[in-house]
Amino acid sequence: MGSYAKATMTGFICRLCSEYKKSVIHFYSAKAQELELLKKLTLLPITIDKYDNLPKTICQDCIEKLNLQYRLVDRIRKSFEIQQRHRLFHSNGRCPLECPLYGTNSYDSSDTSLQQSE
């Protein structure tokens, strides 16, 4: 018989970071559905197949990073949509009240707060 110390426990390996973790979430569990993990994983250049022989679990650290990435991409998409609508409202170079960016300040090269964050 083999030793438990040398046993590989594939159910506790995170699919993203490949580290052994005590606490993981299975991609096809109710908790994963609640967290929309499979939807968020579509942002990554990997594929998750229910029947492949790779781990189907994700650790909390990777979930947090995935959530950060998802929020960033979602914010970028929403910003892009607003900017596209913004362009539609400008036929005379002025920002009308109906414009989604009406009242926001455009970038001014003299604004030092923007320059400091770069």
List residues forming the annotated binding site for Zn(2+): 14, 17, 59, 62
Q: What is the CA radius of gyration of the chain?
A: 23
Contacts of 102 (CB under 8 A, 6+ apart): 95, 96
**Residue among 55, 64, 52 at smallest CA distance from 12:** 55
* In contact, 37 and 64? CB cutoff 8 Å: no
**Cα–Cα distance measured from residue 37 to residue 35, given in angstroms and rounded to the nearest whole number:** 5
Specify binding-site residues. Answer: 14, 17, 59, 62
